[in-house]
Amino acid sequence: MGTSSPLDGITVLDLSSVGPAARASRILADYGAGVVKVGPPPKKAGVQIDPPAYAYSGHRGMRRLGLDLKSDAGREAFLRLAEHADVVIESFRPGVSDRLGIGYHTVAMRNPGIVYCATSGYGQTGPRRAWAGHDLNYLGVGGYLDCSGRGSGGEPALPGATVADIAAGGMQAAMSIMAALVERQRTSRGDYLDVSIADGVLSMMSLYADEYLVTGEVPGPGHYVLTGRYACYGIYPTRDGAWLTVAAIEAAFWANLCRALDLERWIDHQYDDSVQDRIRADLTAAFAADDRDAWVERLGPADCCVAPVLSVPESVVDAQFEARHAVVEAESVTLGRFRQVGAVLAGQGPLDEPVSVKDMSVSDCAAVLSAAGFGADEIEVLEREGVVA
């Protein structure tokens, strides 16, 4: 990282291993926060999912601590750590953190300034609060899937990424935490953040939901320009079996595209429902005449809102991302020298390369506990009893 980052001096205790909460702490770390990943000690292995060594950027820039939260000593150790922290992130089912004795009210008694972020599928209240779930479930209940394209059997298409985990959950949590930290500067008080991933999906769908609530228009595939109603916004095959994205929503961009494809006759019919099938057929025929990259070279710079559908292997070597240093060199004992997506969000980074990624088995137990005021003798006892690792 550079000499100064927005969240320098902020300490985060992250009790999650995967999912939205882990994505949130990844974002916070790349903004400069000191994140401590708190997981079970080896004797409790299997309690949490262990992500692959490369996942979540290999937890670059983070410290790790194994802690038995089901023991009295482990619970007290966590509370002492929380006294010196700014943020706690957890992703237990509603009620679990309280049963463990590390819930918000208990932590806040020790540290009134703590920002405590509880991430869960459906939130801490409501009839689904205790339901198990994953990304696809939250996209389903929030209206996202019903507005997506359809498979051959009429089923909503599976998304190509865990959109709910990433945006509705992880980014929501990180944004809420940063807002609470700003508020704390004014009031000196912390906050409890009830981050519901399903709520986040509904927020993502608010453009369509608000339209329905006001007009009664039921959204779905093909109901609107952004869901495929018009030929100017779609995905088209090219001669080499690849694909192009066309998003010429504005009249000027649409006119540019029509002229570039010798389809001027459709310029004034962009949103004419009666001819959309004919326009799509003509666009399909035009793009079938050449390969994807040839079209990209011709249309990309021509204000047509055309771009390629790249595979992940193509994306990570793409010239645009390369120019913005989006992929960085890293190294670790486990993986050797490798590459990973860098700190790419606005205001993050740059990272010093090669990024050093610690082996997943490496613990920062002594350093983390010492920084929180634990003496060497205390740490030795906790380690000997298997409470920390």
CA distance 366 to 259: 67
Find where tokens 């009839």 sit.
127
CA R_g for the chain: 25
Mean pLDDT for back-to-back runs of 10 residues, the chain (389 residues): 81 96 97 96 69 91 96 97 98 96 98 98 97 96 95 93 97 98 97 98 97 95 93 98 98 98 98 98 98 98 97 97 96 93 93 91 94 94 94
H/E stretch holding 185 reads helix 172-187
Query: Which residue among 8, 50, 98, 134 is the active-site one?
Result: 134
The C-alpha torsion from 222 through 203 and 165 to 15, rounded to 10°, is -170
Domain boundaries for CATH 3.40.50.10540 within the chain: 11-203+355-384
Whether domain 225-237+243-308 has CATH 3.30.1300.30: the reply is no
pLDDT at position 51 is 86
User: Given this model, what pLDDT does residue 46 score?
Assistant: 56
Instruction: Enter the pTM of the model.
Output: 0.93
Tokens of 243: 């694909």
Overall residue count recorded for the chain in this entry: 389
Residue ranges of the chain assigned to CATH 3.30.1540.10: 225-237+243-308
Q: Which of 30, 68, 86, 165 is catalytic?
A: 165
In the annotation, is 165 catalytic? yes
Question: In CATH, what number does 11-203+355-384 get?
Answer: 3.40.50.10540
Residue 336 is predicted with a pLDDT of 93
